[in-house]
């Protein structure tokens, strides 16, 4: 069995009115993200983690923000693309671990629904997806409530060498 680990990171600053999309969910909040796509930092980090495990570049190479076709695009499409690449190369997700750094909004009630939505996109049982939400103890841009950052690690398993 071929095992690979991928790591992804993304951050976006708050700007203007919502919606605020996180982990494929519309989260109630007075602000949305400054982004070319829907700005879903969770799915962007997960997509980068999958692409990283495949040694297939990053989300910006596959979906550049200079391409008008990506304007307002749902980040679900980005993750589906990465998962299609994985399937074509004989890989599937073993597990996913996500850490969201945010002072606001409060994410505790959204972690399980987020895990369920992401598990569906990854074609795995929800028990293979961990979503953690942490504050940044009022430090840095996250602590000043200027935006949100996300880190994701994924284990990909394949039957190819």
Q: Where are the domains of the chain?
A: 2-158
At CA 81, angle to CA 79 and CA 86, rounded to 5?
95
On the CB side of 76, how many CA atoms lie within 13 Å of its CA?
12
CATH code of the region 2-158:
3.30.1330.50
On the CB side of 138, how many CA atoms lie within 13 Å of its CA?
0
Instruction: Return the pLDDT at 71.
Output: 85
Instruction: Return the pLDDT at 161.
Output: 60
- The stretches in the chain having pLDDT less than 70 are 160-161
| 3-state secondary structure at position 31 | coil
Instruction: Return the pLDDT at 160.
Output: 65
Paired strand residues for 101: 134, 149
């Amino acid at each position: 069995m071929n095992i690979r680990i991928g790591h992804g990171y993304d951050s976006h600053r708050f700007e203007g009115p919502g919606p605020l999309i996180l982990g494929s969910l519309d989260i109630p909040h007075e602000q949305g993200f400054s982004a070319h796509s829907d700005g879903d930092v969770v799915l962007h980090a997960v997509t980068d983690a999958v692409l990283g495990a495949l040694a297939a570049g990053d989300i910006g190479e596959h979906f550049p923000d200079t391409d008008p076709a990506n304007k307002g695009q749902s980040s679900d499409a980005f993750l589906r693309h990465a998962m299609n690449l994985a399937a074509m190369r004989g890989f599937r997700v073993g597990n996913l671990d996500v850490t969201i750094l945010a002072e606001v909004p409060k994410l505790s009630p959204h972690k399980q629904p987020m895990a369920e939505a992401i598990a569906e996109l990854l074609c795995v049982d929800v028990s293979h997806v961990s979503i953690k939400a942490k504050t940044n103890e009022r430090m840095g841009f996250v602590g000043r409530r200027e935006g949100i950052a996300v880190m994701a690690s994924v284990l990909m398993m394949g039957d190819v060498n």
